[in-house]
Structure 1
Amino acid sequence: MIDIKKFLDLNALQKIQDQFSESTGLAAIAVDAEGNYITKPSNFSDFCMKYNRGSEEGLRRCRKCDEEGKGTYFCHAGLMDFSTDIIINGEKVGAILGGQVLPNEPEEEKFRSTAREIGVSEDAYVEALKKVPVRSEQMIRASAQMLGNIVNQLVNLEYIKTITQKRNDVLDLQISNIQRALSEVTEKTRDLQKVASMESILSINASIEAARAGEAGVGFAVVAREFGEISKNSGAVYQRIQELVKEIENSVRNLTEID
């Protein structure tokens, strides 16, 4: 599961959320994939938080709306709320929630009835209702969609930046390991070339001694020739290894020079 808190700049998200609420009058808050708040509430109203969620029956109704509400919808109290998922690669990593606004001027008696149902003071309920912003339904839906788009773009951009940096860190580490291994291969190849040179010298010496021994050294001469061929072939192999090492070094160098 992608943990949004591990890569997202929550201060930047909070700033966007606060500016949104200030400019539209809509409340807003962000949660992670498990429903935990990751920002502070913006423009939350006493009508919702103190009176609806502050009573046992009101809280039950609000939670039911939270669970069932999708997109932009009407809550049990007649306000409009919204819920927009935050998606990365098809996975829900959080959501942006909010609303708490009226789509038109309220009918006082209807809200007094709701106050009686949830067990709060009618007068206090209606007084808090008067402070709830009134926005057109079209404006509410458009604003909610706009905030959802902005937050999703921000989250996905931050996620891509984080993944890219991690990949670059891994690439740098692997390049370093390759360079270290190439250095060791080069060193060992030099040692092998020295051995090949010694083999060649030993082969020449063996041929000279075989010639001195005449017929008695014929078998020894055959072995010396074979020894010389092995030495010659080994030298060619070591030379090819060096060429390959240089090719790999060039490739690694090209990788490190990519912006």
Structure 2
Amino acid sequence: MKNMSITRKLQLGIAILVLLTALGSTLNYFATKRLQVAYNEFKILNEANRLLNTFISLLTNNTLGYMDAIVDKDSGDVDAGIVKKHQEFKDWTQANKEVITRDITYINKDLKVEEFFQQVDKYWNAGDSMIKEIKNKKIDELDKYDNDIDSINEALVSEISKNLKLSDNLFTKASKEVEAAQTIIVNTTIYSLISMIIIGISIAVYIMKSITASLEKSGSKLNTGTEVVLNSSRDFSELGNRIKDSTNKQASSLQESVSAIDEIKATVDRNAELSTDSVKLAETCVDFSQIGKKSIEEMIQAVSLIEKGQKQTNQMLETTSSEIQEMVAVIKGIGAKTDVINDIVFQTKLLSFNASVEAARAGEHGKGFAVVAEEVGNLAAMSGNAAREINELLSGSITKVESIVKKTQQNTVEINHTGNQNIETGTRTAQNCNAALDDIYENVTRMKEMIREINSSSKEQASGIGSIQTALVELDNITNDNVISAEKCASSAEELNTQSQNLKSSVVDLITEIMGKSA
């Protein structure tokens, strides 16, 4: 990790964040699919319960019509009502036979559907025979159908009630699936957000420390080089003064002049080498500042990606919350259907009571029907209790689901608020660092230009000294020129000293910007 470049470290951090985001999204996707499957099962079970309850209602009304025909043989209004109920029940069953077969098979795979519809056919055949006897005015022949219709009715009602209980068990199982899927979605979202925030902050801090350390090291090297240049410029200034004095004594001490010129030449060459190295060092500082600027820009983009991922996660949570609320609406719709069942139970009890009254009026002939009426009343009471229990279960489910939705929305708002604050802080810090790097880049660029000027001056000095060396060979002819050259050398030395001091000041400012005022 220590030898890894800043770009590689940043890419590694982003890869970890992307991996965590993808993992959280995958878990949420499968949890959502699981929730969708449970929701589809709710829809199928609701449709199955509706059809089975409608079947029981039509069967009960039709059977009561048959019983009315058997008990009230002398009524002239019975014929039309029986025929109408019988035909309505028969048409509805035939029209919905495939749907009933599909839903009953979904609820109870062990049910023998063919045997069930054979019982229905027997019921219709008995009804058709009764209607034929009624149309032929053979009212006294109706009693022989009483036991057949009664036994078939009980078998069908028993089978349907059994499937309704199985449907209740499937409802309970689907509710548990919904709760499990919700728990997975909430936990995955929370853990993913916390992990991304912690890793994002860690990456930002680590990268800032790496950049600062590199710049501090470069600033220290640049300061050392500047000290060398400044010392050399001071030495050069002193040598320039000595050249001036030596030139004034040139007539009496040519050897001393030659020695002085050699020393000046060596010093100028050294100064040129140092200035060349300083130019390279300045260019390296410029490159480092550009690298730092690019790293900060990439970090800002990474923070933007984190913010985008957080927004996408929030959108997924809002979508999930909406789907759960739609599921609550479906459960409430199921509750409304149980009210319809209660109404049917009430009507059934009322019909049972009327049937008992009519059976009592019929005397001895109505005893069998009185038993049937009592059983119908008992079945109605059982249906009412089952409907009330279903309503209580639905009410509890609605309350629990709404509580979960509310708590999830509150947690989402809090997490979103905290995440946005952290993202804003990271973005603001990165922008400040970017601005500081811009200033460093400008200062280092100016410093590089200054060092290039020093290098140019050093080359000019070397050229001047070369002229001095050539002039020494013809000392008699160029004494005045040597004086002028010495003065130029002293002036250049002063200029070099001034430029060195300016360079020193620029380096101090650069180090202050990098390391702070305490440095």
Q: TM-score range by the shorter chain?
A: 0.3 to 0.5
Structure number with bigger Rg: 2
Higher helix proportion, which one?
2
TM-score scaled by length of structure 1: 0.46
Higher relative contact order (CA 8 A, sep 6+): 2
Higher strand proportion, which one?
1
